[in-house]
Chain A
Amino acid sequence: MPQIQSPLPGTFYRSPSPDKPPFKADGDAVAVGDVIGLIEVMKSFHEVKSEVAGANIRFACDNEEPVMAGAVLADLD
């Protein structure tokens, strides 16, 4: 089962800004290179791009949740 891991430690965000919809809704398909969220590290924001493709994304991490590098952000089919 493919997984998407956080490349950095920081705070995970599912949408580009609080008033915008999430990059990916639960159940969406994901292609390689798709942005699935942001990690805020020391006040700078980094896009999380998927290195794998898959269907039916399920987030393992809530919006605004603190994460460590390598933490699983989402599972795919």
Chain B
Amino acid sequence: MLKKLLVANRGEIAVRIIRAARDLGIATVAVHSDADTESLHVQIADEAVNIGPPAAKKSYLNIPVLLKAAEDTGCDSVHPGYGFLAENAGFSDAVTAAGLTFVGPSGDAIRLMGDKVAARSAAHAAGVPVVPGSAGRIHDIDEARHILIDTGFPVMIKAAAGGGGRGIRIANSLAEFETAFPQAATEALAAFGDGGLYMEKVITQARHIEVQVLGDGTDAIHCFERECSLQRRRQKVWEEAPSRALSPRLRDELCASAVRLARAVGYSGAGTIEYLYDDAADRFYFIEMNTRIQVEHPVTEMITGIDLVAEMLRIAGGEPLRLRQSEITPRGHAIEVRLNAEDPARDFAPFPGTVTDLRIPGGPGVRFDSMLYAGYTVPPFYDSLLAKLIVHAETREAAIARLTRALSELRIDGLKTTKPLFLALAADPAVQAGAVHTRWLEGWLETHAARLVPELEP
């Protein structure tokens, strides 16, 4: 078992990791920038180390400073959280080379899954369905033209080194393709130092469904799926588990394919394998694997009763998987919404500031993961996530009712937040029917955003 953990992150996920470590009797060291001295994660950890100026690249992304903080405080392990250095293979390698345990997969596993082409090839080799497209990197435009036979139009041209929606072009016709392909190669080289491209069929209407896996380097299990189809600018805003779109047969196939891929790459830790699900064709396709804990992990915890962060810490401490697949049974339905410091009526403009009063919802089936407290000033330097409100109930309908109830209790005074968005979504017939896809929310916002005015309490 790990003895002392450096939490190389901030915000709600640092709080979440410290809680899991303390539950297991692991001592914790928080790190913080000059802008985060008053943060909750600093207050609840056993120790805290200042790692530098507000700019993330000088603090939370500064590998030598983080390693020195771990060494100076006698830590034996480092948890990267999500974002920042969580999927930086060099960080995993550097932590390991310093004689510490990285709570996550090896640098090689992160590298393999971080290279979109290599990940796609690994998925294909493990028998996981992939979106029709190139088998790997495309070497020239003649080869690319040949791939169009499989994909048809529209086709997506992606930078092999891209990610998070960057480095993507869509061609709707052969004429567009002939222009876009050379441009994409030039741009990829300029943006990522790697002109490698691959191509995929565009699935115009799909759901985002992902499978949570846990691996110990030898074996792997799944903790069922989450659906995260409600997205804005490719950022998830509302996540739930399970997905009501899947038949039991397809759910079994989807989850089994995720386990095959995790096993095939000898995955260690918690990971998520993301898919597009095409309702019309009743088929799913691998998109990518995220080699870290995800923001939306609590919905899986609510339906399975598993503490995923604690499992990560146990695996990193050298324990084999404690749970067998047959012991994991989903129960009920869970929904998470992301409360961001943004004004939904003004194109989601960021709204940092001071929390003057805070009322956290409670009661049965309600969980609130956050770093907020009354009097806390949200700094402008990092992302806008303030809190995750998670609800659990016997059915999806009851979970939506509980979400509305919990949101109505919630007050985050002094800030504008995305709360009005979620009250409106919970009342929307399409959301209630689950009749959504990954581009549904952006269309809905065009007609509804102006009405989502946050109340701003003094």
A residues whose Cβ falls under 8 Å from a Cβ of B: 8-11, 40-44, 64, 66
CB atoms of B54 and A11 under 8 A apart: yes
In the assembly, what is the distance between CA of A28 and CA of B350, in Å?
A: 31
CB atoms of B383 and A41 under 8 A apart: no
B residues whose Cβ falls under 8 Å from a Cβ of A: 35, 53-55, 341-342, 349-350, 352, 380-384
Dominant secondary structure of chain B at its interface with chain A: loop
Chain A hits for B341, CB < 8 A: 42
A-B contact pairs, 24 of them (CB 8 A): A8-B380, A10-B380, A10-B381, A11-B54, A11-B55, A11-B381, A41-B350, A41-B352, A41-B380, A42-B350, A42-B352, A42-B380, A42-B381, A42-B382, A42-B384, A43-B350, A43-B382, A43-B383, A43-B384, A44-B349, A64-B55, A66-B35, A66-B53, A66-B381
CB atoms of A9 and B352 under 8 A apart: yes
CB atoms of A44 and B350 under 8 A apart: yes
Chain A hits for B383, CB < 8 A: 42-43
Chain A hits for B53, CB < 8 A: 66
Chain A hits for B54, CB < 8 A: 11, 66
**Chain A residue nearest in CB terms to B54:** A66
In the assembly, what is the distance between CA of A41 and CA of B346, in Å?
A: 15
Dominant secondary structure of chain A at its interface with chain B: strand
Q: What distance in Å separates the Cβ of B456 from its nearest Cβ neighbour in chain A?
A: 16
In the assembly, what is the distance between CA of A11 and CA of B56, in Å?
A: 11
Q: What distance in Å separates the Cβ of A18 from its nearest Cβ neighbour in chain B?
A: 11
In the assembly, what is the distance between CA of A11 and CA of B380, in Å?
A: 8
In the assembly, what is the distance between CA of A8 and CA of B341, in Å?
A: 14
List the 7 closest A-B pairs by CB distance, nearest first.
A42-B350, A42-B384, A9-B380, A10-B380, A41-B350, A66-B54, A41-B380
**Chain A residue nearest in CB terms to B57:** A64
Chain B hits for A44, CB < 8 A: 349-350
Chain A hits for B380, CB < 8 A: 8-11, 41-42
In the assembly, what is the distance between CA of A44 and CA of B35, in Å?
A: 18
In the assembly, what is the distance between CA of A50 and CA of B384, in Å?
A: 27
Q: What distance in Å separates the Cβ of B17 from its nearest Cβ neighbour in chain A?
A: 21
In the assembly, what is the distance between CA of A41 and CA of B382, in Å?
A: 8
In the assembly, what is the distance between CA of A66 and CA of B17, in Å?
A: 28
**Chain B residue nearest in CB terms to A19:** B190
